[in-house]
Amino acid sequence: MKFIICSYLLIVSGLTYFLIQDKELKESIQRGKDIYNDFCITCHLESGEGVENTFPPLAKSDYLINNREASIKGVKYGQRGELIVNGVTYNNTMMPLGLENEEIVDVMNYVLNSWGNSGSKMVTIEEVNTLLK
């Protein structure tokens, strides 16, 4: 009996945790969309497709998925020099955008969960706060 109660409580708290996180993620993605449409869309375009050889794509980008930390740093501190994204070499400068850390969380969650991107762990404020240049 004890075992059943314990498992029950575990399952309920676990579900609650996931549901809350899910809600938080959804809200973060929603806010992130506004940030994206303000700061990112002019170069990376509406569906994250970018412009080949000029602005790397964010949609289904191998670089983004394999270099989560470097990607967040790129948004926080700017991005310089050569990058290879989906087999294409990019060599441009993205200046720091001047976003607040909360805004970086939101826009990263939007990008990591849009246009066929999915499955990444939710980006949190702690994660962005701790990333140093």
Cβ 98 to another protein shortest distance, Å: 3
In the block, which residue shows the tokens 């602005």?
Answer: 55
How buried is 98 (Cβ within 10 angstroms: 0-12 exposed, 13-18 middle, 19+ buried)?
exposed
Rounded CA-CA distance 69/71 in Å is: 5
Site residues for another protein, 71-110, by CB under 8 A, read 80, 91-93, 95-99
For the CB of residue 118, give the shortest distance to another protein in the complex, in Å. Answer: 21
Distance CA 128, CA 99 (A): 11
- Per rule CB under 8 A, is residue 25 in the interface with another protein? no
In the complex with another protein, the residue whose CB is nearer, 68 or 73, is 73
Please give the residue ranges that form the binding site for another protein (CB under 8 A): 37-39, 41-42, 45-46, 51, 53-54, 80, 91-93, 95-99
